[in-house]
Structure 1
């Protein structure tokens, strides 16, 4: 079968434009995924650069080759910028213009040397492709299956371009090597026609996964404090009891003392900051995902430990919160928490919570700012 380079070139340009438009359309539907805008621009730029460069190659036009390759390099910078933006980093940095600027400066000196043009463009595009892969691998914000595929594709793209730069000065009698090293060939066009939609599809999959993960996290994260909400806590607690079946598990219930008076005296914004601070203290003193906000000023934790260790941890949280509250609102601020603790090797989550609630009720009646277990009464020193 004979592959016509001109036909494949036209197909690639048309395909890249369509894919770029689809990525931009997806960005309009999901404006929070800003990376889609740069990835869409990258596909449109490569289509424009490819078309202009091919026209220049056929006519030998100085300006067409200059502009075409510059657009191609800009497409790779947009690709890299999109990867940075996807990871929540600054999408554009001045260093991204290094490749296009270097090309514009060097072009007058290498215009008559096609192999040098090939080497420069291939090295620069390969470097940007590998930088994009490094960005997605090194600074990934969330574990996405499609992101790992994107990394592999970008490494392959970078490898292809780097190989072309090395082979551009040493044509051989081996057809597939010459096809790779040539400035353009049917084999190269066919590869791009297959590779380009694959990469675009993976970018769309990354965006879809990211949005879905964001919705999932929103369903299980308390929006104010950033810690697990009641739903997430109950699911985790059920899992802990299944994993620790027959072994001792402790439940802690925390309730911020006189929280309404904090809101009344310092304002609701200060109250929100106190709640957020308490969530941070829980995160600093308890294992990941072991705690959550049940609602209002009430929090809970489930731990596969005994009563003594559980009360020790609760004491550490109580003491840290009291100190942090004074640091935030002033030395005379009464920012404290009461804690109820229950322990069992057989009870359900609901039974543990109910028993801890009874202990918490006793803590409130005892004078607040204390940790009370379901079996004993502990009155800590004031901090």
Structure 2
């Protein structure tokens, strides 16, 4: 098959322009995903850099080569910046600009050697592509399915730049010069022309998947205390107990004492802060277990402990809360918590909650601010 490289180059430019617009448009619709703006800028830099080579019509001046390659190296660095932004990690502008600085410093010494220029741009581009892949693999906040595709494509960019540096492959030569080209350039040209839409699609998919993951997680978090809500607690508790099989598992059921007497005289801001305090104490004391706010002033935790150890843990939580929640927002509230504890090896979550609720009722009847086990009589 005879390839029309100028036409292939035009397709490359058109695709790049379209996906540049799509990335910026997606960012305009969802400003919270700042990575989309970074990736859109990377595509724009590629578009402008390649545009300069098109205008040069296969015979670029040294000034054109200097600027065009600066833009292409900057595109790779901005791509890396987008990956860091996607992971909500700080972006160091000096590290992004280092590649362009190296290119400008080295250019006067290598301007007469096209092979050396190509090797340097390939090394700098491959370096940023590798850093981008590492960023998504090592520092992802939440592992997404589209992460794998993005990492593979970025590693493909590393390989592409390694090959073009070794084989002397030039995009400008292969896409816009009608004449002899190095062996293998046709396959590389087709690959890079189809690569841009693919990686843009993956970036858009990553942004969509991240937002969906955010909303899914938000649906499982209590907005006030920032700990799991009732739905998340029940799902986590069922999963944990199915894993434990016949190992003793305990349910701790907490209810803040006389909470209505806090809200009425002191206001809901004080009451809300009391709930936040208890949520924080619970998360500190049960880092490896399942816990959550069931609603109102009621909380629960499922822990892989026998009855005695679970009772001691409940007592630690009760004491910590009593010690900390004395002065809230300048008001003396002296709030306490009652705890019901139930343990079983083959019980369901529903069974343990029911038994713990019975124990909690007895704790209230005994004067509150105590821990009562379901087995106690």
**Structures share fold, TM-score greater than 0.5:** yes
Matched, 1:61 2:56: no
Q: Could you report, residue by residue, the CA deviation over 1:325-380 in whole angstroms, capped at 9, with x for unpaired residues?
A: 35876896514221111234555433432332232222223232211112327xxx
After the TM superposition, which residues 1-383 of structure 1 pair with which residues of structure 2 at under 5 Å, given as runs?
1-56=1-56, 58-91=58-91, 93-168=93-168, 178-179=182-183, 185-244=185-244, 248-263=248-263, 268-288=268-288, 290-326=290-326, 334-345=334-345, 347-376=347-376
Aligned to 2:175: none
Task: Evaluate the alpha carbon distance shift between residue 269 and residue 168 of structure 1 in structure 2; reply closer, same or farther with a 3 A threshold.
Answer: farther
Q: Greater shift after overlay, 227-236 or 321-330?
A: 321-330
Q: Distance in 1 between matches of 2:72 and 2:196?
A: 14
Q: Distance in 1 between matches of 2:112 and 2:8?
A: 26
Matched residue count: 366
Contact residue 337 and residue 369 of structure 2 kept, 8 A: yes
Q: Greater shift after overlay, 367-376 or 259-268?
A: 259-268
Contact residue 314 and residue 371 of structure 1 kept, 8 A: yes
Contact residue 233 and residue 290 of structure 2 kept, 8 A: yes
Structure number with the bigger relative contact order (C-alpha 8 A, sep ≥ 6) is 2
TM-score, normalization: structure 1? 0.85
Q: Distance in 2 between matches of 1:74 and 1:282?
A: 48
Gaps of 5+ in 2: 170-180
Q: Could you report, residue by residue, the CA deviation over 1:257-298 in whole angstroms, capped at 9, with x for unpaired residues?
A: 233444566654444343233223222222545111001221
Q: Distance in 2 between matches of 1:72 and 1:199?
A: 16
Contact residue 222 and residue 293 of structure 2 kept, 8 A: yes
Contact residue 250 and residue 343 of structure 1 kept, 8 A: yes
Task: Evaluate the alpha carbon distance shift between residue 95 and residue 209 of structure 1 in structure 2; reply closer, same or farther with a 3 A threshold.
Answer: same
